[in-house]
Amino acid sequence: MSNEAKAPKARKLVIALDGPAASGKGTLARKLAQAFDLAHLDTGALYRAVAAIVLRAGINETDEDAVVLAVGQIGATKIEENELRSTAVGRVASVVAAMPKVRAALLDYQRNFAASPPDDKEGAVLDGRDIGTVVCPAADVKFFVTASVEERARRRHAELQSRGERITYEAVLAELRDRDARDCNRAQAPLRQAEDAVLLDTTELDIETAFRQAVDIIARRKGLGVSASPARP
């Protein structure tokens, strides 16, 4: 290797959002990506895609070696939004997400996305469970987005109903409690707030207010101006 000085690579802006299911982190991540003109990766969708492939193929969801093979099929499989967001896929996603081989197989893709965002973007927003703790521990700004489980169940129930899935509020609440327990108590990359993450509790905060708070924090930390209108719905 030569000792020639290389021009330093431009630092990309990386924003990490973690939090439990239906906390509002996905909506917030999309809005932040738009406001700061960054690429966005919904990392939960990767685990959901694995789960959808597992369910379609009738793979035993507890067979780690069989499940990890599904990771290689993500790019080649078309999965409709309704299927990806279904309760069944969400449940299996949190089961397969506890598997170390599955997490390892998805890690490079997520890190590469943050380091080299698509479409020549100057940075990326990633949302998930372990972005600030494992995937991008050096992220420029980290948020931990949460809300009470009852409020999250109310939101998820409304979303599922609007998608035509017939399910009671009580069933959604029970499912979220199960999912929280699995996501928080697994051995690998459990859901937890990174020490340097800013807590955003959206229980009584509408998404627009949460968004404005997040924009202010990012802009203040990075000395950035926001070019896009943050008020866009």
Show the tokens assigned to 138.
């050096």
- In the complex, what is the shortest distance from the CB of residue 88 to ligand DC, in angstroms, rounded to a whole number? 12
The residues, any chain, with a CB within 8 Å of residue 185's CB and separated by 6 or more, are none
Quote the DSSP letter at residue 76.
Answer: G
Q: Are 93 and 47 in contact (CB under 8 A)?
A: yes
What residues line the site for ligand DC (CB under 6 A)?
A: 21, 43-44, 47-48, 90, 93-94, 97, 128-130, 179, 183
Question: CB-wise, 38 or 52, nearer to ligand DC?
Answer: 52
Show the tokens assigned to 143.
């948020």
Question: CB-wise, 44 or 123, nearer to ligand DC?
Answer: 44
Q: In what order do the strands lie in the sheet with 141-146?
A: 39-42, 123-128, 13-18, 141-146, 198-201
Question: CB-wise, 121 or 192, nearer to ligand DC?
Answer: 192
Closest CA to 214 of 199, 227, 204, 203: 199
Distance of CA 24 to the CA centre of its chain: 10
Question: CB-wise, 136 or 215, nearer to ligand DC?
Answer: 136
- In the complex, what is the shortest distance from the CB of residue 227 to ligand DC, in angstroms, rounded to a whole number? 28
- In the complex, what is the shortest distance from the CB of residue 38 to ligand DC, in angstroms, rounded to a whole number? 17
Question: Which amino acid is present at 19?
Answer: G
What CA–CA distances, in Å, run from 149 to 84, 113, 208? 21, 30, 20
Distance of CA 47 to the CA centre of its chain: 10
- In the complex, what is the shortest distance from the CB of residue 59 to ligand DC, in angstroms, rounded to a whole number? 17
Question: CB-wise, 35 or 43, nearer to ligand DC?
Answer: 43
Question: CB-wise, 199 or 224, nearer to ligand DC?
Answer: 199
SS3 assignment, position 125: strand
How are beta strands 141-146 and 198-201 bridged, if at all? parallel
- In the complex, what is the shortest distance from the CB of residue 198 to ligand DC, in angstroms, rounded to a whole number? 18
Show the tokens assigned to 91.
């449940």
- In the complex, what is the shortest distance from the CB of residue 25 to ligand DC, in angstroms, rounded to a whole number? 7
Question: CB-wise, 93 or 210, nearer to ligand DC?
Answer: 93
- In the complex, what is the shortest distance from the CB of residue 20 to ligand DC, in angstroms, rounded to a whole number? 8
How are beta strands 123-128 and 39-42 bridged, if at all? parallel
